[in-house]
Structure 1
């Protein structure tokens, strides 16, 4: 998440330099140097975020960087606050942007602190060299693509819980659209690890599909929606030959010749492209098939489905707990072996962690395959998912692709959602206001910050990272949403110690100086902040949630010890009787 935090700080810093240069007389050079240092570090952060999953030293470097970035952001916040205070005192008048002279003592103090922060970041920038980080990560993307590449063959001995899904899609393809003159495009949408590819493989290999279509073509797409490459892959998958010297026109004519008058099924697996023009360019070439020709697109992104689909979206649901258990049991014990009685109950509890996601069931089942000691099973049952060993193809790395695919400005907004407990109801308006309070979003041109936040929220929804839950009097803005538990695990694994949920009577061991956002559940009959919470002196968000009706001290006023949290940007006490701060 360091990349996202750094982007926020850089945006704030550069905005201050650009728009309020007069306020920076005497420290503008330090601020410009600071901006340059942050930009230098930012260039290698994408590579660092990828590598830190297996490198403890790199994790520590990123933690140090995030702490420094937050300190700079606090400095900028102080500077803007002081400027605003003086402006309100009518000490700036018309010369506000050109000849403003801030308080001398404050000016001296903030200048020294900015210089110290810049020198600290210079040291952090120097340290990056020992990690051999790359500014361009194209090679890494090639590695990820090669590891994730899929084919049409079902790559597991037995598939559980998808027979009904398969029947619905096959029925649609061989009956409902069989007489359609136009090409039919059927999107399958769902979060990572839900089994979209496996379902598409089941459909592709169904005997009715084989009889119905003259050509069946499978193409793995991933992030690079290169039209030339896709046409080449479609041709070669159909048994044709392609010369590297061919230009786009030759590829288009060759593809049209192959498909002309043929009823074909094309599966485009794992599509991320949101560029309408690229899709239209490919689609125009595919419209030469006979009646009933169809394209099945698997994607995590509802926005992709809305761009490409001519048929209603098929939204893939979670597996039942029973089907998850069968899949887990297959991986952990084998089809013909029953688990020992002392392990059975523990194994059933572990399966509950999967929350209906097949990849999670396979991952945890494989992890437990060679474990026979009861304590080893108990350890996995009692551990958070992100603290368990993660292979490249296991659930969190697979979900992490959804995070890596987010624009940088969305990443911190997503990770912040770890501040809410699992299964919490998230009101759209509330979350946007919390983003605004923390400075994650601001106005953009003619768009007010709230409208920008609405766009970001919708983007997370389109990417299957937030799910519908309930509406409020039919208003789309006040709708209530939830996060899938495994997506919440992803957010928590990214946020680390920065987001923490803790109880008053038993404060979490994860509270530390690095904690910036805290949800504090209260179950006592009076409001007292435990001493452990003062460890989070740099906390920016404090959400206090009573678990049952409580009696507030001080006649409904927020207790005075809240004032000790000097960096707070968002304080929320969910109790209707709280009347004063």
Structure 2
């Protein structure tokens, strides 16, 4: 998996504890040192999480360890939420004269009780995490230094062209439509730009990979290139990436003039397919510079652009943008079952577990990333659970209070 579920939980805990609001609360309740110790311990555990979440598929002892660790993280997450509530209460009260009496109430004996109680709970959680960290030494997990861990933000994101067909769920129709645009449609321009647009998590990159590796596409284009753009839209850098995308050419420190000569030599007269994945740049002038350099290809060349931004899709299009929708209910349920349950544990049709699972799926609104992430997260809890119904009910009632705030699309209309 590209990003471990528990790794993301640990990352969000650390980010929350480093926020300005928690800095204030830590000082107010005299738990700043305990916060820092919890951050330090979480960072140490986080270092081996990505390796552990890859090994759990083949090592049941690692899987059991991750379940224990997941339980500790969820308790920590609940505790951090309580502190977050306190932080927000304090910020509201500090600027509202009407609530002075309430502020006095929180600052006296109740504050002392809360401080003692929460201080003990933080210490208990940290000790649990310490215990699991010690156990992890038995698994020979590889520690990845913080600077080598890929962050979830777009600026650190990197993608590649390959995807296993079995990983693509419910996108066959969209694949056929895009291939038709790439291979069968005739446009006035020699080089046409086709944006694939949709919110984060819908699977735009996966869809582009699926198309890119299709046999019909492979045979149709003389040259195929894949470049991940993300939020660094530097024309020099992008031209260099395009040139190097199917070779190991060492370009050294060439200026743009030399780079564009290399690019024109590479593309001139050839029918090519270029995928520019994860484009964020909304400045038309920068895009225009790159566009002009790409227009030297042979007739029928295509540039496929994936983006979350409607503005980007309008700037880059020479044909109508292809809008990616959420998965159907059936495909959403199929994907969720694969992520959340072991094969022998799949819920029986009409069972309470299936009913609760479908509620989880309904809340994901057809967004594959949400389904995969939540399914994997639940897998850790459902594995060897004595009461899977209780686990699913707990998740629906507690965790989705936060997840529901995601801006995700609804199911596509049924045909």
TM-score band, normalised by shorter chain: 0.5 to 0.7
Q: Which residue of 2 is the match for residue 490 of structure 1?
A: 372
Q: Which residue of 2 is the match for residue 435 of structure 1?
A: none
Q: Which residue of 2 is the match for residue 197 of structure 1?
A: 211
Deviation track 1:148-192 (CA, whole Å, cap 9, x = no partner) reads: 499xxxxxxxx99977765554453x3x324x6xx4212356843
Asked if 1:233 is matched to 2:237, the reply is no
Q: 2:123 aligns with which of 115, 120, 125?
A: 115
Q: 1:217 aligns with which of 214, 223, 226?
A: 223
Gaps of 5+ in 1: 151-158, 211-215, 321-351, 361-382, 390-416, 427-465, 467-481, 501-507, 519-538, 544-567, 571-581
Rounded Cα–Cα distance in structure 1 between residues aligned with 2:260 and 2:102: 68
State the 1:218 CA deviation: 0.8
Q: 2:12 aligns with which of 2, 8, 13?
A: 8
Deviation track 1:83-116 (CA, whole Å, cap 9, x = no partner) reads: 84996572645x98xx866544443332222222
Q: 1:132 aligns with which of 138, 142, 151?
A: 142
Q: Which residue of 2 is the match for residue 72 of structure 1?
A: 76
Mapping of residues 396-545 of structure 1, within 5 Å = 420-422=359-361, 424=362, 482-483=365-366, 490-496=372-378, 509-512=387-390, 516-518=394-396, 540=398
Deviation track 1:203-245 (CA, whole Å, cap 9, x = no partner) reads: 5635xxx7xxxxx3211335889632321336x5xxxx95554
Rounded Cα–Cα distance in structure 2 between residues aligned with 1:542 and 1:163: 35
Rounded Cα–Cα distance in structure 2 between residues aligned with 1:223 and 1:58: 36
Asked if 1:37 is matched to 2:37, the reply is no
Structure with higher Rg: it is 1
Query: Does the 8 Å CA contact 1:23/1:102 hold for their aligned counterparts?
Result: no
Asked if 1:385 is matched to 2:338, the reply is yes
Deviation track 1:234-277 (CA, whole Å, cap 9, x = no partner) reads: 6x5xxxx95554625433222224545x3x43212472343568
Q: Which residue of 2 is the match for residue 287 of structure 1?
A: 295
State the 1:319 CA deviation: 12
Q: 1:271 aligns with which of 267, 277, 296?
A: 277
Go from structure 1 to structure 2 and tell me whether the alpha carbon gap of 1:270 and 1:55 turns closer, same or farther (over 3 Å shift). farther
TM-score (norm 1): 0.46
Query: Does the 8 Å CA contact 1:221/1:269 hold for their aligned counterparts?
Result: yes
Rounded Cα–Cα distance in structure 1 between residues aligned with 2:403 and 2:330: 34
Mapping of residues 549-564 of structure 1, within 5 Å = none
Go from structure 1 to structure 2 and tell me whether the alpha carbon gap of 1:43 and 1:60 turns closer, same or farther (over 3 Å shift). same
Gaps of 5+ in 2: 94-98, 151-155, 166-171, 344-355, 405-415
Rounded Cα–Cα distance in structure 2 between residues aligned with 1:71 and 1:421: 21
Mapping of residues 209-358 of structure 1, within 5 Å = 216-221=222-227, 227=238, 228-233=240-245, 242-245=249-252, 247-249=254-256, 250-259=258-267, 262=269, 264-269=270-275, 271-275=277-281, 282-289=290-297, 292=299, 294-297=301-304, 299=306, 305=313, 308-315=316-323
State the 1:127 CA deviation: 3.5
| Structure 2 residue matching 1:115: 3-state secondary structure | helix
| Structure 2 residue matching 1:133: 3-state secondary structure | coil
Rounded Cα–Cα distance in structure 2 between residues aligned with 1:569 and 1:232: 40
Q: Which residue of 2 is the match for residue 184 of structure 1?
A: 192
Go from structure 1 to structure 2 and tell me whether the alpha carbon gap of 1:195 and 1:55 turns closer, same or farther (over 3 Å shift). same
| Structure 1 residue matching 2:319: 3-state secondary structure | coil
| Structure 2 residue matching 1:283: 3-state secondary structure | helix
Q: Which residue of 2 is the match for residue 59 of structure 1?
A: 63
Query: Does the 8 Å CA contact 1:13/1:31 hold for their aligned counterparts?
Result: yes
| Structure 2 residue matching 1:517: 3-state secondary structure | helix
Go from structure 1 to structure 2 and tell me whether the alpha carbon gap of 1:168 and 1:287 turns closer, same or farther (over 3 Å shift). closer
The answer to which structure, 1 or 2, has the higher relative contact order (CA under 8 A, 6+ apart) is 2
